[in-house]
Structure 1
Amino acid sequence: MRTPDPIARTITARLVALQAAQRLSAWSLIITFLGDAIGPRGGEVSAGSLQSLMQRLGIGHGAVRTAISRLSADGWIERSREGRNSFYRLSPGVAETVLSAERRIYAASSLLPAETPRCLVIAAAPLSDDTRQAVEAAGALQLTPQLLLAFAPATGLPSALRLPGATLADAPLLTPGAALRSQLSEARQATEINVLRKAYLPVRAALDRGSPAATGDAMALRCLMIHEWRRIALRVLAVPADLVPADDPEPETRALIAAIYALLLPASEAWLDANATTPSGPLPAADQRLARRFGAP
């Protein structure tokens, strides 16, 4: 009896785990695929190409059609037809948002230089939910209901952190104690990143022993991995390197994801060459942003 390909087994195992955790959605996988694989290659792909990949990821035709209808109605994607064939691309506004997110997803590091200024922002009143979301998006860490730690000088804070009536204090000599280190660890998604690292260490080991048996498996695994990594990477707080706890798992995990991505890239791009089409034929060659991901030379 033929031994199942280790990459195929990995895909199945990750799909089962994500389904059990209710973290596998057709619409999210579609956005991941369009942003990660199709964005650097012209941005548009046929419905058949998308359906083929989603089927390998355990997403049936009906679920894909429902997701496409929802994404189109909500303005996430644009649909076009050429004869009997349909084609999809991210809408312009979403494409810009995805491109901005890529700078965090595919960055070589989430660490700021150790000399990055830091500032304490003391709000005049406890933050509302909307304000808290805005300051977190601006890269600040909420320490207490009215105290924020920002990684910028007091004179150069982003507009979202210039709260009315707030008191600002530069804190160049900030030395984190146990409580702050715990908050930093939580803000850097340490628990979830550890789970992801353990899940993908066997993938790296399998790839070190040989390439995937099928290019479709390479594309499926690449899409699945970025789907998982993106969800975490976009929530990781970027902090100065000297504030990162010694056991922070993010740098090692980012390096692991980058290494697997590089190993999957040739076979997954070969699958796109052979299977993905546009209204004018095969996908165009990838642009430079693909080559620069994860700080690749």
Structure 2
Amino acid sequence: MASDRPMVSAENPATRALEALIDRLHARGRLRVWSLVITIFGDAIVPRGGRVSLSALQDIMARLRIEPGALRTAMSRLASDHWVTRERQGRNSFFRLDEHGRHAFDLATRRIYASGPPAWTGRWTVALAPPGVDEKTVSELTALGFLRINGAVHLRPETADAADAGDALSGMLVVHGESAEHPEAFRALWPSEQIGDAYRAFVDAYRPLADALQGGRRMTPLDAMTARTLLIHDWRRIVLRDPGLPLALLPEAWPGEAAREIARDIDRLLHEPSENWLDAAGLKAATAGRERFASV
């Protein structure tokens, strides 16, 4: 359940834009708080050692109008599902990412922060699954960039940075090839309109915040961290449903790159104040690693 909407300064369009985004979050219906926590871990906590206090998470959730009880329930679920482990230090609680969770983040990170569509090598991989393949395997193949053409056939255009799919393809008939007639027909094999609409909605929702920040409006460190969380959460929700096709196989006038540009610009402008908040919240200094929205 959300708490009451706070008073908003009418003088700062960046703050108004953030409130509209929080309204949008709650308008979707019942919140999956655990999913928001996963976003925070992957985006902000993992690069800083993977450990965060419950109080720091509570501060972000309170700004998102999410009650402490909902957060505690989410953390219990994540611990039960082996995403996080809980540690006590005196009267304080801390959560650390489990190794199971770290593996899942490593796979998703490349897609979330990519600078653009991957380069196609011209090769294809076709995997024929045996009868009764479980949905967990199907989900893993989707995360690896495969499209499920029907119940048994999975197809992936190979790219230079494609993740190794050997384990997921175990027990399947796998065919590799370099040629295909009319590869543009590939566009008809996946739900591009649904994902395209999601990208267009993302642009419409985040353009006011982008305009405000590009116009020089500033946000408090907590507001910047909150806006960053929403930005990456909404971006992640789309990108991880998008198979991440090479540019040559995308529909014309594909809105994904306009959405990526807005995500990149907002993330860049929020980076310093949000990192200042993480410093003040007592997280470890960020380690050298991936560049955000840069080539991976």
Work out whether the TM-score is over 0.5: yes
> Residue 287 of structure 1 aligns with which residue?
287
Paired AA for residue 25 in structure 2: L
Runs of 5+ consecutive residues of structure 2 not aligned to the other structure: 1-7
Q: Cα distance, 1:69 vs. partner?
A: 2.1
Alpha-carbon displacement from aligned partner over 1:220-263 (angstroms, at most 9, x marks no partner) = 00011111111111121122321111221112211221111111
% identity of equivalent residues: 36
Q: Cα distance, 1:287 vs. partner?
A: 1.1
Q: Identify if the C-alpha distance between structure 1 residues 286 and 187 changes in structure 2 by more than 3 Å, giving closer, same or farther.
A: farther
Which shows bigger deviation, 57-66 or 131-140?
131-140
CA contact (8 A) 2:196 2:254 kept: yes
Distance 1:247 1:200 in 2: 19
Distance 1:159 1:82 in 2: 39
Q: Cα distance, 1:3 vs. partner?
A: 2.0
Which of 19, 40, 52 pairs up with 2:59?
52
Q: Identify if the C-alpha distance between structure 1 residues 2 and 33 changes in structure 2 by more than 3 Å, giving closer, same or farther.
A: closer
Runs of 5+ consecutive residues of structure 1 not aligned to the other structure: 278-282
Q: Cα distance, 1:184 vs. partner?
A: 4.1
Larger Rg: 1
Alpha-carbon displacement from aligned partner over 1:178-224 (angstroms, at most 9, x marks no partner) = 6x424345288212111112111221111111243311110000011
Distance 2:137 2:246 in 1: 23
> Residue 238 of structure 1 aligns with which residue?
244
> Residue 3 of structure 2 aligns with which residue?
none
Paired AA for residue 41 in structure 1: R
TM score, norm. by length of structure 2: 0.83
Count of residue correspondences: 285
Q: Identify if the C-alpha distance between structure 1 residues 187 and 88 changes in structure 2 by more than 3 Å, giving closer, same or farther.
A: farther
> Residue 201 of structure 1 aligns with which residue?
207
Which of 65, 78, 84 pairs up with 1:77?
84
> Residue 25 of structure 1 aligns with which residue?
32
Which shows bigger deviation, 265-274 or 75-84?
75-84
RMSD over aligned Cα, in angstroms?
3.1
Distance 2:74 2:59 in 1: 15
TM score, norm. by length of structure 1: 0.82
Distance 1:162 1:240 in 2: 25
Q: Secondary structure at the match of 2:286?
A: coil
Q: Cα distance, 1:146 vs. partner?
A: 5.2
Which has the larger share of helix?
1
Paired AA for residue 85 in structure 1: N
CA contact (8 A) 1:141 1:187 kept: no
